[in-house]
Structure 1
Amino acid sequence: MRTARLRTVHPVLWAGWAALAAGAVLCVLGWYGVSGERYAERQLPYLASCTVPGAALIIAGAVLLTHGRNALAAARVEELYGLLVTAEPAGPEESGQTVTAPLAVSGDLLMVPGGTLWHRADCPLVAGKAEAVPVDSKLVASGELGPCPICEPAEETD
């Protein structure tokens, strides 16, 4: 998927390169003409007809290239934005609905030795970890462990 603006940028870039090339050719011709004349009054026509317009074309070419590259970048950003906007949401979180249910619903509570939180057994933070052990009710009662904010376990243990 290419935007129309992206297709119109290429002529600006080509015009910039052409202006740079024409300006360089005119500057070389002006230099060659000036270098062959001994007197300043005979050098002025070459400066006026070749070198000054050549320098102006070089500046114009640089401006066109800069504008073309900026327009190319802007067209790419617009294309990416269009792709982002047209993408459909995958789940209820992206469609604006809030998910109120906890991520884990298991009744078994686990903790990691040395940790400060207790988790449900299917919490993504402890699921599949071999070092996770069942929660000691004495630790929970003493307040050394707090509930996991991700899986939101119940405070009473079985």
Structure 2
Amino acid sequence: MRTSRAGTSHTVLWAGWAALAAGAVLCVIGWYGVSGERFAERQLPYLASCTVPGAALIVAAAVLLAHGRDATAAARVEELYALLVAAEPPREEAEGERPVAGELVAVPGGTLFHRADCPLVAGKAEAGPVDEHGRAGLDPCPVCAPDV
């Protein structure tokens, strides 16, 4: 889903590139005209009609391109925020399956045992209760520091 800001930023970027190209062409024409004239009085019209407007267009192009990049970045941030807000929250397990806060739990194949409210295992459906015999080869978690 593209926002109107993204469409506007593309227009601003295209306008910036067009202004940059036109400014470069004017500067080249002005330089070529000035280089063909020997006297300063005859060079002045080329400076006034081509080189100065060309330089102004290049400055305007730099401003438009910077603004267009900022607008594109802002549109992307809005798009990511919309995706984040629209993301489905993690599903809760059934009340009977969730470990009680005082229980010790472990993840199959893991090397640590944790308290049930430890942030390292919170929301993991595969984390299951551990008894005295099940935690024989496991170390206590350094984050939640379960009482042994």
Q: TM-score range by the shorter chain?
A: 0.5 to 0.7
1:24-35 superposed matches below 5 A: 24-35=24-35
Cα deviations across residues 23-55 of structure 1 (Å, max 9, x unaligned)?
Answer: 000000000110111110111110000000000
The answer on 1:132 being equivalent to 2:137 is yes
Contact 1:103 1:150 in 2 (8 A): no
Contact kept in structure 1, 2:114 and 2:145, CA below 8 Å = no
Query: Contact conserved, 1:119 with 1:148, CA < 8 A, in 2?
Result: no
Contact residue 9 and residue 71 of structure 2 kept, 8 A? yes
1:102 CA drift (Å): 2.6
Provide, for residues 7-26 of structure 1, a one-character-per-residue CA deviation record: whole Å limited to 9, x for no partner: 22111111000000000000
Alpha-carbon offset, residue 2 of structure 1: 1.8
Identical-residue share of aligned pairs (%): 61
Aligned match of 2:69: 69
Amino acid at match of 2:55: A
**Deviation, structure 1 residue 104:** 4.2
**What SS does structure 1 have at the residue aligned with 2:101?**
coil
Aligned-pair RMSD on alpha carbons?
Answer: 3.9
Distance (whole Å) between structure 2 residues aligned to residue 58 and residue 9 of structure 1: 18
Give the 5 Å matches for 1:74-85.
74-85=74-85
Number of equivalences: 125
The answer as to whether partners of 2:114 and 2:141 remain within 8 angstroms in 1 is yes
Using structure 2 for the length normalisation, give the TM-score. 0.67
In structure 2, the gaps of 5 or more residues are 93-97, 106-110, 117-127
Does residue 10 of structure 2 align to residue 10 of structure 1? yes
Structure 1 outlier segments of 4+, above 2 Å: 99-106, 117-123, 146-153
In structure 1, the residue matched to 2:101 is 102
